A and B are shown apart, each in its own frame.
Chain A
Amino acid sequence: MLDFMKASLLRISWMTRLTFLEAIRQRFFAFLILLSAALVLSSVSFRFLDFGNGELKFVCDFGFGGMFLFGSVLAVVMSAQLFYAEMDNRTALTLLAKPVSRTEFLVGKFIGVWFVLGLFIVTLSTLLGIILWARCQELTVAAVELGKAPPDFSVAGLFSHTGMQWARLGVVAAMILMVASLARTFLFTVIAGSMLVVAGQLQWLAQETLLKPGELNFFSKLLLTVSTYIIPNLQQFNIGDALTLDHGSVADGAVTLALFSGTCYIVVFLFIGSLIFRQREI
C-alpha cells in the first residue's frame, strides 16, 4: 500500500513538474504577470483619483483588484489550455497508456497550475508590499511633521491575504479542471468556467437573500439553497483591506476557516473531476 502510494505520488510529481514548466514557458503567463505588475506599480500614479480613503487603502485596492482580475483570467484560461493541449496534441493518450491513472493526471495538472498561480500571486504581493512599505515610510514622515497619526499596514496581513488569494485561485483552477473533464471544447470550458467564477463571486447575494426568506416561494428558496452549497463562495477570500490595513477587524479564525473551506472545495472538485474524467472517452 505504501509502495503504491509512493509510486502514485511520484507520478503526480512528474505530471506537476511537466505542467509547471509548460505553463511557465507560455507567453500568456508572461504577458499577464507583466500587465498585473504594471497595474500594481502604476497604482501610486493614480492616487490623485482617490477621494474618500487613505492613500494606502487606494494602493491596496488597486493591487488586490489586479490580483483578483488577472489571477482569475489566468486560472480559468491556463487550466483549460493546459488540459486541452494534452488532449489536442494526443499526448494524453501516450501519458495515460503508461501506468498513470486519470486521477493522477488530473491531480498533477492541478498542482502544476496551482504552483504557477502561487508564483503569480507571490510576485504581485511582493511588489505590492514593497510599494506599500515605501509609501508608508513617506507618509509617516509627513504625518509626524503635521502631528497626525501615521498610517500603518500589516505585512502579516498581506501575507495572509496572499494565502487566501492562492486558495481562491486553487478553487477556481479545480473548478475549471472539473468542467474541462466533462466539456468537449476549450471555448466551452473557458466560457462556462468564467460564468462559474462570476457566480461564485456573487454567491453571497444568494446567501443574503436566504437570510430574509419572507419574499421567496418554495422553488426559489430551494434553488438558492442548492446553489449556495454547490457553487463556492469566492467572496470569502476577499478581505485583503481588512487584513492589511485594519487587522483587528478580522474575526479570530476567519482566515483559517476560509483556507480550510477552500481546501475542501479543491478536494471535492478534483474528486468529481476525476470521476467524470475516468468515464470519458479520449
Chain B
Amino acid sequence: MKSLRVQWIIAIFCLGLAGVIAEHSWTKVRVSIPEMGKKQIEPSLGQGVLLGILGGFRAVVADGAWIRSYVLWERRDRAGCEALMRTACMLDPRARYFWENTGYVIGYDMAHWEIRKRGGYAKVSAEIQDDLFKKYGQQGIRVMEEGIKYTGGNVGILISAGQMSELKLKDFSLAASYYKRASESKNAPWFVHFMCARALWENGQTKEAYAWYRDVWQKRLSNEEDHAADDLERLRFMEDELKLSLIQRIPRQPWEKKY
C-alpha cells in the first residue's frame, strides 16, 4: 500500500515535470506559429473557426471565412462582414491578401454603407460625410497597420495604407511616411519612390521632397540598368519648380535626353 502511494507521488511529480518541459518547448515553438491570442479569437467563436484554431486547416478555414464574409459584404452587414474578415486575418495572419482587403473594405466601403443607411448622400451633410470617410479611413489604416506588423512590413500593405491616408484622410504626411517605409524595403516597386516624393510635395514640403527623391535616385535608382530615367525626368521638373540654379541641380547625365 505504501509502495503504491510512493508510486502515485512519483507519477504526479513526473506529470508536473512533463508540464515544465512542455512549457519550455512551447516558448520555443511559439515563434513559428502565426500569432493568435484569446482576445482575437473571442469575437470569432461560433463562426466555425474552432477547427482552424485546433490544429490544421488554418488557411482553409481562413479562406472559408473570407468567402462567407463576401456574402455579408453584399448585404452590407458592417459588423458581420468586419468580424469574418478579421477572423480570416487572424487565422492566417501572414497572408497579405486578407489584411489589405479588410482594410480596403473598412476604409473605402463602409462609410458609403453608413451614409446610405442614414438616408443617402443628399440627406447627410457634407461635413458628416467627411467625418465618416475619415473615421472609417482611420479604422482601415489601423487594420493595415496590424497587417504590416504581422507580415513583417509587407510592401503592398504599406502602399495601400499610404493611398488610404491620401485619399480618405487627406493626410499627405502620413501617406509619405508609409511610402517611405515601402521605399526602404528590399523589394520596393519602381513607382513607390515617386509616390513618396509626390506625397511630400503635396504636403507643402517641396524642398524635403526634392532632397529625399534626389538622394534615393543618386544612391539607388541611378545604379539600375535603365538609370531610372523617368525618375530623373520628375526630378528635373521639381528642380524647375524650385527654381534651382545650375550648380544646385543634379549634373547632366550623358544618356539624358534634352528636357
Contact = CB atoms under 8 A, between A and B. Distances in A.
Interface of A: 46, 49-53, 57-58, 61-69, 72, 198, 201-202, 204-205, 207-209, 228-230, 232-236, 238-240, 242-243, 249-251, 253-254, 257-258, 260-261, 264-265, 267-268, 271-272, 275, 279
B92 interface: yes
A257 B56 contact: no
A52 B22 CA distance: 32
A35 B96 CA distance: 32
Interface stretch (B62-70, B206-214, B219-227): B62-70
Given A52-B98, A53-B92, A58-B60, A69 B32 contact: no
A67 B57 CA distance: 10
B18 A61 contact: no
B38 A52 contact: no
B17 interface: yes
B131 interface: no
B18 A232 contact: yes
A58 B51 CA distance: 16
A276 to B, nearest CB: 10
A238 B33 CA distance: 8
Interface string B87-120: 0100010011110000000000000000000000
The 4 A-B pairs with the shortest beta carbon distances in the complex, nearest first, are A52-B95, A65-B56, A229-B19, A65-B57
Interface in B156-176: none
B8 A275 contact: yes
A49 B25 contact: no
Contact of A251 (B4, B32, B60): B32
Contacts of A67: 56
Interface residues of B, number: 47
Nearest to A247: B32
B29 interface: yes
A223 to B, nearest CB: 14
B95 A53 contact: yes
B53 to A, nearest CB: 7
B37 interface: yes
Contacts of B38: 205, 208-209
Given A50-B63, A51-B63, A232-B22, A68 B56 contact: yes
Given A51-B97, A61-B58, A267 B14 contact: yes
